[in-house]
Chains A and B, each alone.
Chain A
Amino acid sequence: GESVGLHLPTLSVQEGDNSIINCAYSNSASDYFIWYKQESGKGPQFIIDIRSNMDKRQGQRVTVLLNKTVKHLSLQIAATQPGDSAVYFCAENKGAYGNKLVFGAGTILRVKS
């Protein structure tokens, strides 16, 4: 069935290093992807999105890469900080009416000081 999943359930990085969180999707017709950050006990917060007509998009300290050939999405965080510690979800928009975001299982990012 269609799904969005993450390769690495837990990622530990040293403060100041770059982080890369990966995501695979199975529906080649999906045209919109979002990365969310969720801190403990809170709702997910939008980080960055990308449409299928792009292969790269940059934000503040974050970059999302989309490889449609292999159906792979990644989130790169530059100079990772302790405040980046959270669970990161990729989501795929599959809706015919409104947004129907399908979320992956999530990756825990732990930043070591």
Chain B
Amino acid sequence: SQTIHQWPATLVQPVGSPLSLECTVEGTSNPNLYWYRQAAGRGLQLLFYSVGIGQISSEVPQNLSASRPQDRQFILSSKKLLLSDSGFYLCAWSPNRDGELFFGEGSRLTVL
């Protein structure tokens, strides 16, 4: 069966510090991978998605970046965090173009 792992689960970072959130998927190959952000009490905003290694599409301009160094690994990064980067970050994968998304458990980021 397929599983998705996301870490760390929570972190508190000072403004201006770097960020690295990691996500891996097991039990499948060539998944579509996604990063979403959810502000408190709000819906999910798509940040990045990837249909293959090294292929990253950005949905909104921001100081975040994403990378896919391996088929089942997706990394969300920032060189300098802003207060507005606080939120709940969710990694997700899908097996095909029109299938459902399977979400990880999320990473809660607080920038102080």
Interface residues of A (CB under 8 A from B): 31-32, 34, 41-46, 49, 51, 89, 93, 95, 97-106
B57 interfacial contact with A, CB 8 Å: yes
Q: Is the interface of A mostly helix, strand, loop or mixed?
A: loop
Interface residues of B (CB under 8 A from A): 32, 34, 36, 42-46, 49-51, 57, 59, 90, 92, 94, 97-106, 108
Q: Are A42 and B43 in contact (CB under 8 A)?
A: no
Q: Are B90 and A43 in contact (CB under 8 A)?
A: yes
Residues of A within 8 A of B46 (CB): 100-102
Residues of A within 8 A of B108 (CB): 41
Give the residue name and chain of the A residue nearest to B51 (CB): A98
A61 to B74, CA, bound (A): 35
Residues of A within 8 A of B43 (CB): 89, 103-106
Name the distance in Å between A50's Cβ and chain B's nearest Cβ: 11
Which of B94, B100, B103 lies in contact with A98, CB distance below 8 A?
Answer: B94
Name the distance in Å between A21's Cβ and chain B's nearest Cβ: 14
Residues of B within 8 A of A32 (CB): 98
With A100-B46, A101-B46 known as contacts, the answer to whether A43 contacts B104 (CB < 8 A) is yes
With A100-B46, A103-B43, A104-B43 known as contacts, the answer to whether A44 contacts B97 (CB < 8 A) is no
| Given A46-B100, A97-B49, A100-B59: 6 more A-B contacts, CB < 8 Å | A41-B106, A98-B49, A99-B97, A99-B99, A101-B101, A103-B36
Q: Is the interface of B mostly helix, strand, loop or mixed?
A: strand
Residues of B within 8 A of A97 (CB): 49, 51, 57, 97
Residues of B within 8 A of A98 (CB): 32, 49-51, 94, 97
Name the distance in Å between B102's Cβ and chain A's nearest Cβ: 7
Q: Are A42 and B44 in contact (CB under 8 A)?
A: no
Name the distance in Å between A43's Cβ and chain B's nearest Cβ: 3
The winner among A49, A97, A99, A103 for most chain B CB atoms within 10 A is A99
Q: Are A34 and B97 in contact (CB under 8 A)?
A: no
Q: Are A99 and B57 in contact (CB under 8 A)?
A: no
